[in-house]
Amino acid sequence: MSTASLHETTHHADHADAHHGHHKETFITKYVFSQDHKTIAKQFLVTGIIWAIIGGLFSVIFRLQLGYPDATFPWLEDFLGHWAKGGKLNPEFYYALVTMHGTILVFFVLTAGLSGTFANFLIPLQIGARDMASPMLNMLSYWFFFLASVIMMASLFVQTGPASGGWTIYPPLSALGDASMGSKIGMDLWLVSMAMFIVSSLLGGLNYITTILNMRTKGMSMTRMPLTIWALFFTAVLGVLSFPVLLSGAILLLFDRNLGTSFFLSDIVVAGKVLPNEGGSAILFQHLFWFLGHPEVYIILLPAMGMASEILSVNSRKPIFGYMAMVGSLFAITILAFLVWAHHMFVTGLNPFLGSVFVLLTLLIAVPSAIKVFNWLTTLWKGNIRFTPAMLFAIGFVSLFISGGLTGIFLGNSALDIHLHDTYFVIAHFHIVMGVASFFGMFAGVYHWYPKMFGRYLNNTLAYIHFWVTIIGSYLIFWPMHYEGLAGMPRRYYDFSNWESFKMFGGLNEFISLIAMLVFAVQLLFVFNFFYSIWKGRKVTTLNPWAANTLEWTTPIRPGHGNWEGDIPEVHRWPYDYAKDGIDHIAQDVPVGAGESKH
Amino acid sequence: MERGVTQQRNRIHPHKFTLWVGIGSIVMMFAGLTSAYIVKRNQANWISYDLPLAFWYSTAVIVLSSITVHLASKSFKERAMARYRKLMLGTLLLGVLFIILQVIGFQTLWSKGITLQANVSFSFLYVIVGLHALHVIGGVVALIVMALNSFSKKTRIYSTVPVELISTYWHFVDLLWIYLLFFLLMIK
């Protein structure tokens, strides 16, 4: 390593007006191996969208099986070959689909696609930096993600299918190649892909933290940073501290799989044959996995929280309510995220006393969460609200976060969890609070910053259809699952029609599947809108289309590498001076006037 | 060129800071592994073992190399390039010696029947010490680059950042080794 990045930053500063066309960038350096944070952000976003379509499609396919367990779909065989003989989904492949749906959505879409996109795009623009601390590491971060994507994609096409032991890859299914179809090469590819993914996410995280702490423009003190940046900062901290622990778990798992060790294996009989492995503990893996796994939930959620805060304030034309409380609650959530992992393991034989400690710590998360919800609602209160698509998605995020968060209080209780664990209640909870809510944050971010990304607007009519179908559809899909879960319907089952007690849910399951297909179709409408508008969308003609205060709107409509053509603006105030002293908004780079009141 | 530098406000050098955060990340990985070790230690089928003598020699070697890299960095700042070259080469050689001693240590263990697969406690020893050795090898690669650069004319351009980076990282793997050694001695 050398001082290269500093020199590069300088170099690019000279070419800040590169977009005028008199520069030597080739197609390859501009669009493929680019070191411009904005291009890298778009690469993450587009790759994330492709993964989201694949992951979403998988859920539609397994919902077909759940909604119509007795029907056959001959066209499925044309599409999936021997995985759907006679138009009926193979049970082994059903598990592969469920596993890959989770892996893709959790890691490739809502971690890389969300953080990768918005941390890259917004951090330098909103703190006033020409690029990331190390543009080179940043580029590597994307290409490791790309490599991880290629390997994971390849695992979909191997003879024995991709990993199928659940996205949590618990041993022994994941540790023994003979345990199931998906435990063979698909599992190896999964582990290698995740190792690449962890490297990508660490390189990204190192860069985000360093950039935020060291590269802020003059006057941009930490307490003047937009809440998006605070959220992305805590997200990066979570990632840098928790992913290495998953890596250590994955390394031990690789040893168990390939080198005959017994970290996670003991007393196992496969197909009548007793294995020599002695002394390992499968529970140990769960500890290592959930030490990442729980922070991972917040890695997914915090960026959405940050963007929702920013968008709610801008479109309410009001300062965010309780800025410092918002920062404090983000911090509290970050700390608590590391102290609650065992609530995923209440029924593994965990010492009940230890369990009750984790119950307490888990329920404590309700405090910072409630602070955030209160502040979002009070920001909206008596605001001059503009219902832009971004705003609707941000409000939708708050709604989903409340609905999904409340069921977390049920699940965080170790006593209730004995009944509720591994049922559809859990599925309903985490899909609403983490999955759909974060997607809403991501959509809000895309609709809000699209003009900055591409210099054009997305189509509003399509956006409104997208919003209303998605919000109503998501509730229709996941709300009934609470009832199924309370009735004890277990998750991950291939077919419920053999159980007398779950037969009554046949109609409900069909309903859920139908709505899931509809919602998936509407997401394709969004994808169409996204790509169509890059070339054909209405052009942005003003620098600051949303009349926002943050620095990204002081750059040219289509900023080149280096972001600002002249000097980087100096910051004189916090980003939430809306409706202050009778003025609609005062941007961060406007000096404080003589008679101005304090905020 | 000056425009960007004067405008871009850098508090601590970004690469140094990145290294520190990266070190935090590596610490978490070893914290994960050593906590897993403690958890496993209290369960059945744990067999204690003695560390080979070679690990003790390697400890002395890496501590010595930490001193040489510190002196190298000091010489670099004093522009005593001849001394810097010698110390950098010395550090590199000590780094390589450390790896060799670790390999010898593993061979001794293996010959005593303390093999990777024989027991979970041995497996842990191999993985934890092995991963640390990988981090040292990474440092050795960086040291090779630094040692080669020390013979080129370019190092006369005064930038202490690369030297400080390698020195920080090298002290870190040294400290990490001492932690692991004590950990393995205390909890076995």
Which CATH number characterizes residue A167's domain? Answer: 1.20.210.10
CB contact under 8 A, B43 and A279: yes
- pLDDT for residue A300: 96
Centre a 10 Å sphere on the Cβ of residue A509 and count the other Cβ atoms it contains: 23
B155 pLDDT above the threshold of 70: no
Surface of B (86-145) touching A: CB under 8 A: 116-117, 119-120, 123-124, 127, 131
- Report the alpha-carbon distance of residue B102 to residue B133 in Å, rounded: 8
Which residue's entry shows tokens 């004067």?
A: B6
CB contact under 8 A, B162 and A568: no
A11 interaction partners in chain B (CB closer than 8 Å) = 1, 4
Asked if residue A356 belongs to a domain, the reply is yes
* ipTM of the complex as predicted: 0.88
3-state secondary structure of A274: strand
Compare CB distances from A13 to B7, B14, B39 and report the shortest one's residue. Answer: B7
- pLDDT for residue B12: 75
- Is A8 within 8 Å of A106 (Cβ atoms)? no
- CB-neighbour burial class of residue A525 (10 A; exposed 0-12, middle 13-18, buried 19+): middle
Enumerate residue ranges in chain A where pLDDT < 50: 1-22
For residue A133, give the chain B residue with the closest CA.
B14
Query: What are the C-alpha distances in Å from A172 to residues A263, A366, B78, B118?
Result: 11, 34, 58, 19
CB contact under 8 A, A202 and B22: yes
- Report the alpha-carbon distance of residue B99 to residue B114 in Å, rounded: 19
A138 interaction partners in chain B (CB closer than 8 Å) = none
Query: What are the C-alpha distances in Å from B141 to residues A158, A189, A215, A570, B95?
Result: 36, 28, 29, 42, 10
CA angle A357, A359, A361 (to 5 degrees): 70
- pLDDT for residue A13: 38
Centre a 10 Å sphere on the Cβ of residue A101 and count the other Cβ atoms it contains: 20
Q: Structure tokens of B95?
A: 């780094």
Beta bridge mates, A580: A583
CB contact under 8 A, A241 and B12: no
Compare CB distances from B28 to A129, A244, A262 and report the shortest one's residue. Answer: A244
Compare CB distances from A1 to B8, B15, B127 and report the shortest one's residue. Answer: B15
B39 interaction partners in chain A (CB closer than 8 Å) = 281, 284, 287
Asked if residue A1 belongs to a domain, the reply is no
Mean pLDDT of the residues in chain B: 88
User: Which residues, 6 or more positions from A265, have their beta carbon under 8 angstroms from its beta carbon?
Assistant: A171, A172, A175, A176, A256, A275, A277, A280, A282
A266 interaction partners in chain B (CB closer than 8 Å) = 45
B52 pLDDT above the threshold of 70: yes
> B58 vs chain A: nearest CA distance in angstroms?
24
CB contact under 8 A, B22 and A209: no
- Report the alpha-carbon distance of residue A139 to residue A204 in Å, rounded: 9
Q: For an interface test with A, give the residue of B9, B115, B169 to mutate (most A CBs within 10 A).
A: B9
- Is A487 within 8 Å of A505 (Cβ atoms)? yes
A451: domain range? 36-265+283-585
CB contact under 8 A, A213 and B17: yes
Query: What are the C-alpha distances in Å from A22 to residues A14, A34, A593, B31?
Result: 12, 17, 40, 51
- pLDDT for residue B3: 40
Q: B152 touching A, CB under 8 A?
A: no
- pLDDT for residue B11: 61
Asked if residue A596 belongs to a domain, the reply is no
DSSP A344: G
CB contact under 8 A, B40 and A263: yes
CB pairs under 8 A between A and B: 158
Asked if residue A21 belongs to a domain, the reply is no
- Report the alpha-carbon distance of residue A89 to residue A81 in Å, rounded: 10
- Report the alpha-carbon distance of residue A204 to residue A140 in Å, rounded: 9
Nearest CA among A204, A6, A142, A203 for reference residue B14: A6
The CATH number given to B53-186 is 1.20.120.80
Q: Where are the alpha helices (DSSP H) in B42-160?
A: 53-77, 81-111, 120-151
Q: B17 touching A, CB under 8 A?
A: yes
Query: What are the C-alpha distances in Å from A117 to residues A121, A209, A251?
Result: 6, 15, 28
Q: Which residues of A580-590 are buried (b: 16+ CB within 10 A; e: fewer)?
A: beeeebbbbbb
Compare CB distances from A255 to B4, B46, B127 and report the shortest one's residue. Answer: B127
B5 pLDDT above the threshold of 90: no
> A12 vs chain B: nearest CA distance in angstroms?
8
Angle separating helix axes A460-486 and A437-454, nearest 10 degrees: 160
Q: For an interface test with A, give the residue of B127, B155, B164, B180 to mutate (most A CBs within 10 A).
A: B127
CB contact under 8 A, A259 and B117: yes
pLDDT, tens digit, 9 for 90 and up, residues B84-139: 999 999 999 999 999 999 999 999 999 998 888 888 889 999 999 999 999 999 99
3-state secondary structure of A584: strand
Compare CB distances from B4 to A10, A251, A280 and report the shortest one's residue. Answer: A10
- Is B120 within 8 Å of B40 (Cβ atoms)? yes
Domain count, chain A: 1
Longest dimension (CA), chain B: 65
CB contact under 8 A, A263 and B159: no
